[in-house]
């Protein structure tokens, strides 16, 4: 029985209540209705506006008739509303703090147990990843970060939570997307539907498809190199990487249409994406709010960003393929699927690609360069490795040597370990109605959610020696390519390194991102010399990390660039 049956029954019974009740009995009736309201929200979590209006306004106002003989016609509605909502909040509070709550055994801060709005408040400065790490340092490997959500910092929970037999996605990502008509790939909860929808993405990032994208990468990296070499004085390398990855995303997803490397952000598109991303975490933590936000004048920057992505995606879909770009596969123009997908599904996935395809790679590139430049011995060592495999005259775009470039891989891995793309991980939850689950040593009840906190996991001293130090050699030591430091225990657990997530819902574009970053490093270090601006304190960037679902860095990477001779 759902709310569509409960609400008429509730209204009918309210009308049957006697109007000559004593004041205490009338207040008790109002309080009982408030407790029943709590039970309805707990069971069905309604978001349908008429249903919510009935439960929160119509019911207490209807019950105010019982209070009219005691408080008068003007005061009775106010007393009914105040009594109803006070008891409703009290009921919710007592339940969430009680030993009968399914997550009562797990520790966490009191405000987080009471409401997910506490995490919204903590995210106001985009430092959620640091706050959750502090919670893990205080409370241990499992922390209650919401009334019904856990954060986990335990490598033994990674595969059970996120692996093949793990839990599906939680509701946060659908809320973050403002409840699109067709759910994008990243937010699909049904494992079978996710596997079906992922098939064209898998083809789009296959080895054969990556070869198709190489000429596009060559063109854009060459353009990036020329633009960097032509700049006078100090430049912000992070901004140039952002423009490069956005232009490449335009080529790879839409077959062209973006020229930020040539003209900068003259149309304000990159700025729009930055501003739009700032408001989405509220709906990540309070996904039911998205139901109202999409209908009310809320979060205009987020709506503008998604509207732009939707418009560009719909335009590309109408044109059809001119090259083998991402849409070529998403819309089944390769003819692999027997039944072409509906246009709305293709457009929904295109919106995801527009928003997610560029920011993550640009941040990782910027962080990798920033770290090797503030440790000049790493910069020189990596440049020497590039010179070994790609000396002057050798084609630095040829990927044949990438597998042998162990220090380049070490630098990229260490960057991703310290600065994971998704610092707070991906929410998972038992599929509604499928019962409770056991994840490693933890019990995850039906109706609750959990996540692996990547930032904490990958900086845990139990899994990595010197976890807060940028130390690429750890990857070479783990491979047996270098000796471990004498006199100390070397700790390295590769199972705690999950920069592209884990399991069947991991990052489908992982191979493209890795190829892109390797090609950028090889070509730029073969042709250019970089040096940090001496007037800039590179430590500033460490304090500028922001968790906006993906990791962002507000601080620039101020460098001077010159051609190598």
Residue 161: C-alpha distances to residues 158, 307, 428, 430, 493 (Å): 5, 34, 7, 10, 18
Model confidence pLDDT, tens digit, residues 22-53: 999 999 999 999 999 999 999 888 998 999 99
Domain-located, residue 136: no
Give residue 544's pLDDT band: very low, low, confident or very high (50, 70, 90).
Answer: very high
Instruction: Determine contact, residues 511/210, Cβ cutoff 8 Å.
Output: yes
Domain-located, residue 122: no
Q: Which of 3-12, 267-276, 296-305, 460-469 has the lowest mean pLDDT?
A: 3-12
Domain-located, residue 145: no
Model confidence pLDDT, tens digit, residues 411-469: 999 999 999 999 999 999 988 778 889 998 999 999 899 999 999 999 999 999 999 99
Domain-located, residue 327: yes
Of 55, 76, 97, the one marking the end of a domain is 97
Please state, in angstroms and rounded to a whole number, the distance separating the CA atoms of residues 243 and 29.
Answer: 62
Residue 179: C-alpha distances to residues 51, 276, 330, 367, 480 (Å): 18, 16, 21, 33, 48
Judgement on whether residues 437 and 289 belong to the same structural domain of the protein: yes
Contacts of 21 (CB under 8 A, 6+ apart): 29, 66
Domain-located, residue 150: no
Judgement on whether residues 50 and 199 belong to the same structural domain of the protein: no
Judgement on whether residues 366 and 499 belong to the same structural domain of the protein: yes
Judgement on whether residues 254 and 351 belong to the same structural domain of the protein: yes
Domain-located, residue 179: no
Instruction: Determine contact, residues 485/476, Cβ cutoff 8 Å.
Output: no
Reduced to 3 states, what is the DSSP secondary structure of residue 154? coil
Strands 442-444 and 437-439: antiparallel
pLDDT, position 7: 54
Judgement on whether residues 277 and 420 belong to the same structural domain of the protein: yes
Judgement on whether residues 200 and 296 belong to the same structural domain of the protein: yes
- Known binder of ligand: residue 507? yes
Judgement on whether residues 62 and 203 belong to the same structural domain of the protein: no
Q: What percent of the chain has pLDDT over 70?
A: 96
Give residue 8's pLDDT band: very low, low, confident or very high (50, 70, 90).
Answer: low
Judgement on whether residues 335 and 466 belong to the same structural domain of the protein: yes
Judgement on whether residues 191 and 92 belong to the same structural domain of the protein: no
Of 60, 76, 97, the one marking the end of a domain is 97
Per-chain mean pLDDT for the chain: 91
Please state, in angstroms and rounded to a whole number, the distance separating the CA atoms of residues 446 and 436.
Answer: 5
pLDDT, position 97: 97
Please state, in angstroms and rounded to a whole number, the distance separating the CA atoms of residues 284 and 296.
Answer: 18
Question: What's the total number of domains in the chain?
Answer: 2
Q: What percent of the chain has pLDDT over 90?
A: 73
Is the pLDDT at 515 greater than 90? The verdict is yes
Domain-located, residue 414: yes
- Listing DSSP states for 498-537 in one string gives -TT--GGGS-TTHHHHHHHHHHHHHHHHHHEEEEE-TTS-
CA neighbor of 144 nearest in space, from 170, 166, 115: 115
Is the pLDDT at 1 greater than 70? The verdict is no
Domain-located, residue 557: yes
Domain that holds residue 530: 185-563
Model confidence pLDDT, tens digit, residues 54-111: 999 999 999 999 999 999 999 999 999 999 999 999 999 999 999 999 999 999 999 9
Judgement on whether residues 50 and 193 belong to the same structural domain of the protein: no
Whole-structure pTM value: 0.93
Q: Which residue has the higher pLDDT, 117 or 10?
A: 117
Of 47, 62, 97, the one marking the end of a domain is 97
Judgement on whether residues 377 and 240 belong to the same structural domain of the protein: yes
CATH number at residue 314: 1.10.630.10
């Amino acid at each position: 029985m759902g709310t569509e049956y409960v609400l008429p029954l509730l209204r009918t019974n309210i009308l049957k209540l006697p109007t000559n009740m004593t004041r205490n009995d009338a207040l008790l009736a109002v309080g009982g209705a408030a407790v029943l309201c709590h039970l309805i929200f707990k069971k069905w979590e309604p978001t349908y506006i008429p249903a919510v209006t009935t439960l929160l306004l119509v019911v207490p106002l209807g019950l105010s008739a019982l209070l009219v003989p005691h408080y008068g016609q003007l005061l009775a509605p106010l007393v009914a509303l105040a009594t109803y909502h006070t008891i409703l909040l009290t009921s919710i509070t007592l339940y969430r703090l009680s030993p009968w709550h399914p997550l009562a055994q797990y520790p966490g801060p009191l405000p987080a147990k009471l409401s997910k709005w506490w995490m919204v408040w903590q995210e106001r400065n985009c430092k959620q990843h640091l706050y959750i790490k502090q919670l893990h340092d205080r409370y241990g490997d499992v922390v209650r970060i919401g009334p019904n959500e856990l954060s986990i910092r335990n490598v033994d929970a990674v595969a059970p939570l996120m692996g093949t037999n793990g839990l599906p996605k939680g509701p946060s990502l659908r809320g973050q997307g403002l409840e699109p008509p067709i759910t994008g790939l990243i937010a699909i909860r049904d494992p079978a539907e996710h596997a079906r929808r992922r098939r064209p993405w898998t083809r789009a990032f296959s080895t054969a498809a990556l070869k198709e994208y190489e000429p596009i990468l060559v063109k854009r990296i060459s353009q990036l190199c020329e633009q960097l070499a032509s700049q006078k004085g100090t430049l912000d390398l992070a901004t140039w990487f952002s423009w490069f990855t956005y232009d490449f995303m335009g080529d790879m997803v839409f077959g062209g249409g973006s020229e930020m490397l040539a003209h900068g952000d003259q149309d304000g598109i990159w700025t729009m994406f930055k501003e739009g991303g700032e408001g989405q975490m509220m709906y990540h933590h309070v996904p039911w709010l998205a139901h109202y936000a999409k209908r009310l004048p809320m979060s205009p920057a987020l709506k503008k960003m998604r509207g732009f992505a939707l418009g560009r995606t719909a335009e590309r879909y109408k044109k059809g393929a001119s090259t083998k770009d991402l849409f070529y596969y998403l819309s089944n123009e390769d003819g692999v699927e027997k039944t072409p997908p509906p246009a709305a599904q293709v457009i929904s996935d295109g919106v995801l690609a527009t928003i997610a395809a560029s920011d993550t790679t640009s941040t990782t590139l910027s962080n990798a360069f920033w770290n090797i430049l503030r440790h000049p011995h790493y910069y020189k060592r990596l440049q020497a490795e590039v010179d070994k495999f790609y000396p002057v005259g050798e084609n630095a775009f040829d990927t044949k040597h990438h597998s042998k470039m162990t220090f380049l891989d070490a630098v990229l891995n260490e960057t991703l370990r310290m600065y994971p793309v998704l610092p707070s991980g991906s929410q998972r939850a038992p599929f509604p109605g499928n019962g409770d689950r056991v994840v490693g040593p933890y019990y995850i009840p039906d109706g609750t959610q959990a996540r692996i906190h990547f930032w904490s996991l990958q900086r845990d001293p139990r899994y990595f020696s010197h976890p807060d130090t940028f130390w690429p050699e750890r990857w070479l030591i783990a491979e047996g390519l270098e000796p471990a430091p004498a006199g100390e225990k070397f700790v390295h657990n590769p199972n705690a390194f999950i920069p592209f997530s884990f399991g069947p819902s991991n990052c489908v574009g992982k191979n493209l991102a890795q190829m892109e970053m390797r090609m950028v490093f090889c070509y730029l270090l073969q042709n250019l010399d970089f040096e940090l601006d001496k007037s800039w304190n590179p430590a500033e960037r460490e304090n500028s990390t922001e968790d906006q679902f993906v990791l962002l860095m507000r601080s620039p990477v101020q460098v001077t660039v010159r051609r190598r001779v």
